[in-house]
Amino acid sequence: MLEELAAGQVTLATVWLLGVSMGLTACTVTCLPFMGTWALGRASGQREAFVHTGVFLAGRVTSYSLLAALAGTLGLGLAQALGGAWGNALIGGASILAGLWLLLHSVGGKACRTPSMPAVAPLRFQRKADSVPPLFLGAALSLTPCTPLASLLALAAQTGSPAQGAAYGLAFGLGAAMTPILVLVPLAGRLGRELRAGRAWLSRWLIWGAASVLVVLGLRRILLAV
């Protein structure tokens, strides 16, 4: 692909297809454990699940654009730096934040339920701020080292232009947003709601379990960075 760039043959459509190739494969495998666990623990409704998935993908698109712009300015050294300890540390921190957020806000936001309210009424008030963990997860998980990302940064570095690099990153991110997690994350939220239906005692177990999984995933990433 670098040879095509040198010949002026690489287009934004080519980079978009590179992103699609990652979104349909590596993105799903890497991201679903984090976002699926988040949606399951929150027992997200359909609207919230789609909003949080959209915010997560927006974080990825923004991060890819910034990374490619930096690569266009600083060169390939960026890919080597972020693909190692720094990337894993940021992913781990974002995952731990999501786990703690899930736990603390479910405890602090418990709503009183009346007999007329459904058995799956939210344990916490839905707030715009609850989109922060998915946003951070999306931005951090864009640092996961993989061949498509390395190719993107190599292409951006070869341009020597932050503007052209950002354009490549945006095209790549929009392609990567074509991912099965658009369907799988809402399904995880629906599963959480189904599990809670008629089982009020299970709500706390779901929240604590999901929070614990996110913290463990985060710690594992941080240990990889050490």
Least confident window among 30-39, 62-71, 90-99, 116-125: 116-125
220 against 45, higher pLDDT: 220
3 against 106, higher pLDDT: 106
Whether residue 154 is predicted with pLDDT greater than 90 in this model: the reply is: no
% of the chain beyond a pLDDT of 90: 43
The DSSP 8-state label assigned to residue 160 in this structure reads: T
CA–CA distance, 33 with 211 (Å, rounded to integer): 12
Q: Per-residue confidence at 114, pLDDT binned at 50, 70, 90?
A: very low
Q: What does the pLDDT read at residue 98?
A: 94
Q: Per-residue confidence at 27, pLDDT binned at 50, 70, 90?
A: confident
Q: What does the pLDDT read at residue 107?
A: 53
Q: Per-residue confidence at 147, pLDDT binned at 50, 70, 90?
A: confident
Burial of 53 (0-12, 13-18, 19+ CB in 10 A): buried
Mean pLDDT value across residues 112-141? 66
Mean pLDDT value across residues 5-26? 81
C-alpha Rg value of the chain to the nearest Å: 19
Q: Is residue 72 part of a domain?
A: yes
Q: What does the pLDDT read at residue 84?
A: 67
Least confident window among 14-23, 75-84, 148-157: 75-84
Look up the domain containing 156 and give its range: 11-225
pLDDT, one tens digit per residue, over 49-88 is 899 999 999 999 999 999 999 888 887 776 666 666 788 8
Closest alpha carbon to 123 in 204, 38, 63: 204
The sign one gets for the Cα dihedral 42, 48, 49, 54 is negative
Q: Per-residue confidence at 126, pLDDT binned at 50, 70, 90?
A: low
Q: Is residue 4 part of a domain?
A: no
Domains held by the chain: number: 1
Q: What does the pLDDT read at residue 122?
A: 45
CA 51 to chain centre: 13
